[in-house]
Amino acid sequence: MIELEGVTRRFGATPVLHDVSLAVPEGSFTSILGPSGCGKSTTLRIMAGLDRPTEGRVRLNGADVTEATASERNVAMVFQSYALYPHMTVAENIALPLAMRQLSRLERLAGIGRLLPGSRPKRAAIQARMQEVAAMLGLEDMLGRKPAALSGGQKQRVAVGRALVRDPSIFLLDEPLSNLDARLRVQMRSELAALQARTGRAFVYVTHDQAEAMAMSDRVVVMMAGRIAQAGTPRDLYDRPATREVAAFVGAHPINLLEMRLGPHGACPLLPDLRVSGAESAQVTLGLRPEHLVPASAGLPARLDRVEYLGAETVVHARLDGGAALRALAPGDWAPPAPGAALTLAVEPERVHVFDAASGARMTAAAERAAA
Ligand code: ADP
Ligand code: MG
């Protein structure tokens, strides 16, 4: 278990992390998700011991490791850039962390090292562990190759192998898939999730890609401008986003955000079925996900602007009678009317998100209360 307690990091006078507290339990797959520059890498580097907090503590399995170096913590880090040694083979790259720890400088020398008494059993043990890790990652057939002769996905596997070989208690991965093409990213994300399950170790996975975080994680920590905006299961984030910013960041299709003023008793002028409890004439932002806005025989009256046909589904660009543009989602086999034609969009009140317009914080809707 790794914990950050009230971690603040400033570079000179510039604050980058503000009072960040989070705990990654044993065996969990936790993602840190947020836009570029929000402080994800800084958070991970502080966990690894590659950077120090200005204030706050870092605990590893209960022990305070705030001042411990990276090599004193049994954590492994995998970077986006792979950081492989180009002159070494796959086998040597994977075995390197063990060779550095277990062999003396003399024993590591290619020629003489082998002749030294005592180095042979150590080398054999390192080779065996390297083979085991290579087999786990499907790299057995390329152990003699140099990194230049590998594809992006294979290089990434070697980088993971090098982290795996020491059997660290925690894996820290910083956007490890962002150099890969879209199809390979999707494949590698299930490989990494399977690897995490097999090793049973905690993974902390940094990404700006909400789909990656949602697909792989038990828990997602959403970070915005150096603060934790929300931490929860992928489902929590999607169903009950704590802020408007989280709602806009999470979800495959961008959420529709509509500004409006509630009437007496929290009545919503747009959706008669919705009542927001405890909000008298408040200025709010309504969040409607496209997938919860479906062309149907009854609902919000709108006009069709255009459609984007995606195969399995169709993105519907429409305009409300008041003029606001909305995205809705229809099945792939939906037959759209002509542009400019009227259509109605069905809304389930319990799927509507309501945020305070000024602070962006989530407000409780009556429909949600009834469901709880
Ligand atoms: P992310 O990984 O989410 O993209 P980072 O943690 O890399 O974000 O950076 C967060 C912010 O801290 C950025 O504005 C970045 O410019 C700044 N920053 C990171 N490292 C340093 C540093 N060594 N010196 C000064 N500013 C830094
Ligand atoms: Mg980063």
Q: Domain range for residue 295?
A: 253-369
**Does residue 158 share a domain with residue 296?**
no
Beta bridge partners of 31: 205, 220
Percent over 70 (pLDDT), the chain: 97
| Protein residue closest via CA to atom 21 of ligand 1 | 11
For residue 167, what pLDDT is reported? 85
Q: What is the CATH number of the domain that holds 325?
A: 2.40.50.140
Q: Are residues 300 and 154 in the same domain?
A: no
Q: Which of 217, 239, 261 is the last residue of a domain?
A: 239
Here the CATH number for the domain that contains residue 205 is 3.40.50.300
Residues, beta carbon < 5 Å, ion ligand 2: 41
Is pLDDT at 2 greater than 70 in this prediction? Answer: yes
pLDDT of residue 118: 74
Cβ of residue 32 lying under 6 Å from some atom of ligand 1: no
Inter-axis angle of helices 152-164 and 182-199, nearest 10:
20
Q: Give the pLDDT confidence of 222-247 residue by residue, as tens digits.
A: 999 999 999 999 999 999 999 999 99
- Look at the pTM and tell me if it is higher than 0.75: yes
* Segment 325-335, tens digit of pLDDT: 999 999 999 99
For position 81, what pLDDT does the model report? 77
In sequence order, the 6+-apart residues with CB closer than 8 A to the CB of 258 are 270, 285, 286, 288, 324, 326
Predicted confidence band of residue 370 (pLDDT cuts 50, 70, 90): low
Answer whether residue 122 shows pLDDT above 70: yes
The per-residue pLDDT for 185 is: 87
What total number of domains does the chain contain? 2
Is 126 a member of any domain?
A: yes
9 and 102 belong to one structural domain: yes
- Residues 212, 358 within the same domain: no
Same domain for 139 and 16?
yes
- For strands 227-232 and 256-261, give the pairing: unpaired
- Among all bound ligands, the one having the nearest atom to the CA of 39 is 1
pLDDT band at residue 206 under the 50/70/90 scheme: very high
Task: Reply yes or no on whether the pLDDT at 178 is more than 90.
Answer: no
Confidence of residue 355 (pLDDT cuts 50, 70, 90): very high
Please tell me whether residues 300 and 322 are part of one structural domain. yes
Q: How many CB atoms lie within 10 A of CB 11?
A: 10
Whether 245 maps to a domain, the answer reads no
* Least confident window among 18-22, 176-180, 251-255, 346-350: 176-180
Task: Specify the DSSP class assigned to residue 254.
Answer: P
| Euclidean distance between CA atoms 52 and 71, whole angstroms | 14
How remote is the CA of residue 75 from the centroid of ligand 1, in Å? Answer: 21
Picking from 66, 68, 77, the residue whose alpha carbon sits closest to that of residue 5 is 66
Lowest-pLDDT range, 50-64, 142-156, 264-278?
Answer: 264-278
- pLDDT confidence of residue 83: 82
> How confident is the prediction for the chain on average, in pLDDT?
91
How many residues would you count in the chain?
372
Binned at pLDDT 50, 70 and 90, residue 89 comes out as very high
Question: 39: CA distance to ligand 2 center in Å?
Answer: 7
309 lines ligand 1 (CB under 6 A): no
Q: Are 194 and 163 in contact (CB under 8 A)?
A: no
